[in-house]
Amino acid sequence: MSHVIECQKISKRFGGNQVLKDFDLTVDAGESVAILGPNGTGKSTLIRILASVMRQSEGKVLINGSEMKDEAFALRSQIGLLSHTGYLYTSLSAEENLKFYAEMYSLKDPEKRIAELLEKVGLRTRRFDRVATFSRGMSQRLGLARALLHSPKILLLDEPETGLDQEGLDLLWSIIKTDDPDRTVVFTSHNFKSTVQACSRLIILKKGKIVYDAPKGDLTEDGLQALYHDVTGGKS
């Protein structure tokens, strides 16, 4: 059986700067994979390559056995992406933003899905308000609604906790888990607490290479912190 996500020897260079080198990774259905690592180690680059918003310099990315390069169109509709920004147009209202992205994803019944998601992220009463008037937490929740709009089977999150307090972060993760418990989630983070709560598998990167990859098991927040410092030789 093929993996949901499979990276085969992917490399990425920015000019002379090698960010990822011969990077291999497989993720199976339903896994919640946390990717940790110091800044500049290639976490965001990896997420962007998996989401096909950036092309790798070398190697292959396969989603459900199909190569991203050949079937990017179809595969993108299986992927939801959220980074520390929500990819939202601040002059448009919450509903207008979701309607625009619903058109981009060619959703069949967008009104129903938009109403459902706005309810879920607690923004139904603010649906006609411009995103510019939203707090950071509200924008991020709307960004999550945008990422979940097309009910993707794979959710990629790049440091979604940036700027959120613990309450906002807990809400974000509860929405992700309740929307589709079987969804495959790959996320990068610097937050040990939410990582321990949300992941089933832990990967630590250092200089574009995997230096730790294991199921989370019964690892605690303190245990993860100690492990991280031990593996990376520094602080997050």
Partner 1 sequence: MKTFWKAAFAIAKKDILLELRSKEIISSVLLFAVLTLVIFHFAFTADHETMTQIAPGMLWVAFSFSGILSLNRAFIPEKEDNCMEGLLSCPVGREAIYMGKCLGSFIFMLIVEAVVIPVCAMLFNVDVFNPMIIFITLLATIGFVSVGIIFSALSVNTRAREMVLPILFLPIIVPIIICAVSSSSAILAGGTFEDIKQFLLIIVAFDVIFFTVPLMIFKYVVEE
Per CB under 8 A, 200 contacts partner 1: no
Q: Which member of 2, 90, 166, 200 binds partner 1 (CB under 8 A)?
A: 90
Q: Which member of 13, 22, 54, 229 binds partner 1 (CB under 8 A)?
A: 54
Per CB under 8 A, 53 contacts partner 1: yes
Per CB under 8 A, 146 contacts partner 1: yes
Per CB under 8 A, 13 contacts partner 1: no
Q: Which member of 32, 41, 83, 188 binds partner 1 (CB under 8 A)?
A: 83
In whole angstroms, give the CA distance from residue 152 to residue 136.
24
Q: Least Å distance between CB 87 and partner 1?
A: 3
Please say which residue, 104 or 226, places its beta carbon nearer to partner 1: 104
Nearest by Cα to 215 from 21, 9, 28: 28
Per CB under 8 A, 86 contacts partner 1: yes
Please say which residue, 139 or 195, places its beta carbon nearer to partner 1: 139
Per CB under 8 A, 174 contacts partner 1: no
Per CB under 8 A, 24 contacts partner 1: no
The site that binds partner 1 (CB under 8 A) totals a number of residues, namely 31
Q: Least Å distance between CB 30 and partner 1?
A: 22
Please say which residue, 62 or 75, places its beta carbon nearer to partner 1: 75
Residue partners of 233: CB distance under 8 A and separation at least 6: none
Q: Least Å distance between CB 48 and partner 1?
A: 7
In whole angstroms, give the CA distance from residue 236 to residue 233.
10
- Count Cβ atoms below 10 Å from residue 233 Cβ, excluding itself: 10
Please say which residue, 91 or 200, places its beta carbon nearer to partner 1: 91
Per CB under 8 A, 153 contacts partner 1: no
Binding site for partner 1 (CB under 8 A): 48, 51-55, 73-77, 79, 81, 83, 85-92, 96, 100-101, 103-106, 130, 146
